[in-house]
Structure 1
């Protein structure tokens, strides 16, 4: 009976483990398959793609990438995307860290109303409805003819990031603030010398979220640069590759452009994965 119980317990212990690995394997397949298909599709001919050829290319056509750069001037659009994404990331980190610090540490009139408005914006998705008012506002301020308009438009809507920073800041002992004030620090000194250095993990999360959203954005970037094609970002330029000068859909060129567009964001996640997980976990626990 004892041996039978041991075997039964051993099998019972293996079932959850096997189920977990099967579930993880399925999730990995669903996550990686689109990326792998995009890269392999970018090395096929258009006929091979449209006629449903094999998973792997019959012949590897690396010239598709050259054609993508030549037809879409990817050097310019890549530079535009880098400028926009880096600028949005820096602005988001600065504004979210300041907002989160003030909301976590200071009491002022209308704070509860402001927090309620922030919370409502997290659960209500206005989407493209806000694009026209934003564009009209930037046009009234004479900012719609520069790339700065796109940067400002993409920097807004940081309610989630503000709450992440606020939750993390609440987990930092207030005694550190009081000690800094006794030593002669002002409110800005407490922020810059005490809270900001300790908030690096959550700020890394904010930076990653902001960079990803700015780099992958299509609708806002298209609307803000519709009258200025030279200021288009890489994501918008990829869609323009869908049609050639002959108005025929060239999916192999479009997939080549898409492959180029996803490389930077994959590199960012590859090198910042540990900081992302650590910061997100810390923000969740301390919030």
Structure 2
């Protein structure tokens, strides 16, 4: 390797290292700030390391009556896992149908679904969703949100699964049909086991989305505080006592909320990158 190539590689590594530090800085700052007092956070917000580290923030959260961490973690866990399961099943089945199925208007329907990727409605749909569920008397609690997600269309995930299925040889389907498998049987017995990389990717992305969901859980649990998720409870920590915001408690709570995401990524890490790349092979 000549000097020019070595210099280029060193510059590339330096840029990547800088980008990594910039990406990790918010996490590092949150972690170190969780050991600071609220006074230190408000008077010296630019300091990275605490002057006098303390675990009192975690003790206050753990023993807080208003912030029932056990209940909040349980609500976030079952809300997230059920929605991840819904997203994975809908994405895998819809992606398989669009890749292997033959029906009238398939290309038109898929084009419409694809167009939805470029339409962002933000939170403008919150009120219509709440109004519809209110008419059905299903407007309270996390289960109402799960019903909404059950009838949702995870367009990007469907697109990824479709691309992955198209990369698989059709000989697998033909061999399964010769053995007597139906269209649905071929999916569950042959195709779905091969979708592990892309489904793991979808599961991680969905886990991150639903675990950090704040607006909808806040709206739908207003009358049922016992069903609040961890993200909703974190915002309540800011004003648990007095007029001053308790940023120290929020930092400690944020660290606790971040741990499940890191664990989920650690378990699915080996599938994550390969799944994203494989899902974009064909389209």
Q: Same fold (TM over 0.5)?
A: yes
Give the structure 2 partner of residue 12 of structure 1.
4
Give the structure 2 partner of residue 63 of structure 1.
56
Give the structure 2 partner of residue 34 of structure 1.
26
| Contact preservation (8 Å) 1:154, 1:220 | no
| Contact preservation (8 Å) 2:133, 2:144 | yes
Structure showing greater radius of gyration is 1
Moved more, 117-126 or 257-266: 117-126
Give the structure 2 partner of residue 180 of structure 1.
176
CA RMSD of aligned residues (A): 1.6
1:20-72 CA-to-partner distances (Å, cap 9, x unmatched) read 11111111111111111101111101110000163211222212012123141
Give the structure 2 partner of residue 278 of structure 1.
274
Are 2:43 and 1:47 aligned?
Answer: no
| Contact preservation (8 Å) 2:173, 2:186 | yes
Please list every run of 5 or more consecutive structure 1 residues that lacks an aligned counterpart in the other structure.
1-8
Relative to total residues, which structure has the larger helix share, 1 or 2?
Answer: 1
Aligned ranges 1:1-287 → 2 under 5 Å:
10-52=2-44, 54-69=47-62, 70=64, 71-154=66-149, 156-287=152-283
The whole-number CA distance in structure 1 between the counterparts of 2:118 and 2:107 is 17
The whole-number CA distance in structure 2 between the counterparts of 1:175 and 1:185 is 13
The whole-number CA distance in structure 1 between the counterparts of 2:212 and 2:259 is 12
1:176-232 CA-to-partner distances (Å, cap 9, x unmatched) read 112211211111111111111111111111111111100011122212222221111
Q: CA deviation at 1:245?
A: 2.9
The whole-number CA distance in structure 2 between the counterparts of 1:258 and 1:277 is 26
| Contact preservation (8 Å) 1:88, 1:152 | no
Quickly say closer, same or farther: Cα 1:67–1:157, change in 2 above 3 A. farther
| Equivalent position SS for 1:19 | helix
The whole-number CA distance in structure 1 between the counterparts of 2:241 and 2:218 is 20
| Equivalent position SS for 1:248 | coil
| Contact preservation (8 Å) 2:142, 2:217 | no
The whole-number CA distance in structure 2 between the counterparts of 1:248 and 1:132 is 32
The whole-number CA distance in structure 2 between the counterparts of 1:133 and 1:48 is 44
Moved more, 256-265 or 174-183: 174-183
| Contact preservation (8 Å) 2:41, 2:247 | yes
